[in-house]
Amino acid sequence: MGIGMSNAMRWPDGFIAVDWGTTNRRAYLLDADGRQGAEFEDGQGVLAVPAGGFPAAVAEIRARLGDKPLMMAGMIGSNRGWVEAPYVGCPAGIAELASALAWPAENVAIVPGVSFAEGHRADVMRGEEVQLLGALAAGLIPSDCLVCHPGTHNKWAALAGGRIVSFRTIMTGELFNLLSEHSILSDLLEGEAEAGEAFAAGVEAGLSGAGLPAELFAVRARVLLGQAPRGDAPSFTSGLLIGADVAIGLRDKSERDVIVMGRPELTRFYAAAIAQAGRQPIELDGERSFIAGCARIAELL
C-alpha cells in the first residue's frame, strides 16, 4: 500500500479513470490533458469482485488500457468496495474531493463520496459527485444550479458557489425494479415504458401527490375493471414514480432551469416529467462530465 507521497504527485503520462459501481464498471484512458482514448465497460461491478480481488481486478484494467495510474469513483470506495473512502460533507467542491482521496495502492486513487446531514435529514452519494463537479469544471453547467441525476437511486443536487450544498436521493429506479420483478404488478410491468400519453398521465398522478402506494394498486385495479389497457401499465407506472420523484425534487426549489444529467435513456423520461411540472429541463450526458471531473481532480493532485 503506497500512501503519502502519492498525494503530491502529478500524472504527466495520463491515467485511467474508472466509474466503478455496484453492478458495472466503465474505464477510460485519458492523456495528460484529459483527452479520452480507449475505453471499455463490463459487468465487473464491486459485487462481482471476490474478497481480496481488487488488485487483480485493477491489473486486468491496466492489461486492457495500459500500465497507468488510476483514478476511481463510485461504490469502489464504499464498505463493499476495495477500501472505504470516508464521505466528504456538504458543501463539497472539487478541491474538497481532491484533498480527501483514498490511496489503496501506489498510483491508485479513490474519490470519496459526499454526505449531507441536516436535522433528521441524511443522505449519501458515491460517483455522482464526480459527474456533478466535473460538469461544472468543464463549463457545462453554472456554479449555482439544480441538477437531477437519474439512476437506480435518483439524486437531486443543489450547487451553489461551485459546490454541492445539499442533495436528496429518491429510490425511484429501485422501486420500479422491485415492482417489476417481485410484486403483484409484475405481470403488468413486463413491457417497455414509453414517454407518451400513458407516461404523462402517470406523471400527472405522481406530481399531484395523491399518494404513491395507493396509486400503485390502482394500476392493477384499472386493468381489472377495464378502465385502462394492460399495455399502458409500464409507461403509467414509470410516469407515476418519476412524477412523485420530481414533485419531491422541485419542492421548495424555484429554479426555472433544471439540469438532467445521466444516461440519455433515463434522462429523457425525467426531462419530460420536469417539463410537465412547468420547468425547463436541460439534458446532459453524464459520461463526459465524469471524465472532466477525474481530469480536474488529477490536475489538483
Interacting residue ranges for its own copies, rule: CB under 8 A: 87, 115, 117, 120-124, 153, 168-172, 174-175, 178-179, 181-184, 201, 205, 209-214, 216-218, 220-222, 224-225, 227-228, 241, 244-245, 247-248, 251
3-state secondary structure the chain: CCCCHHHHCCCCCCEEEEEECCCCEEEEEECCCCCEEEEEEECCCHHHCCCCCHHHHHHHHHHHHCCCCEEEEEHHHCCCCCCCCCCEECCECHHHHHCCCEEEECCEEECCCEEEEECCEEEEECCHHHHHHHHHHCCCCCCCEEEEECCCCEEEEEEECCEEEEEEEECHHHHHHHHHHHCCCHHHHCCCCCCCHHHHHHHHHHHCCCCHHHHHHHHHHHHHCCCCCHHHHHHHHHHHHHHHHHHHHHCCCCCCEEEEEECHHHHHHHHHHHHHCCCEEEEEEHHHHHHHHHHHHHHCC
CB of 104 to its own copies, least distance (A): 20
In terms of CB distance, is 160 or 221 closer to its own copies?
A: 221
CB of 249 to its own copies, least distance (A): 9
**Nearest C-alpha neighbor of 72 from the set 117, 102, 37:** 102
CB of 299 to its own copies, least distance (A): 30
CB of 298 to its own copies, least distance (A): 28
In terms of CB distance, is 184 or 300 closer to its own copies?
A: 184
The whole-angstrom separation of Cα 94 and Cα 116 is 16
In terms of CB distance, is 235 or 296 closer to its own copies?
A: 235
CB of 175 to its own copies, least distance (A): 6
In terms of CB distance, is 185 or 294 closer to its own copies?
A: 185
CB of 222 to its own copies, least distance (A): 4
CB of 37 to its own copies, least distance (A): 34
In terms of CB distance, is 59 or 184 closer to its own copies?
A: 184
In terms of CB distance, is 6 or 115 closer to its own copies?
A: 115
In terms of CB distance, is 64 or 168 closer to its own copies?
A: 168
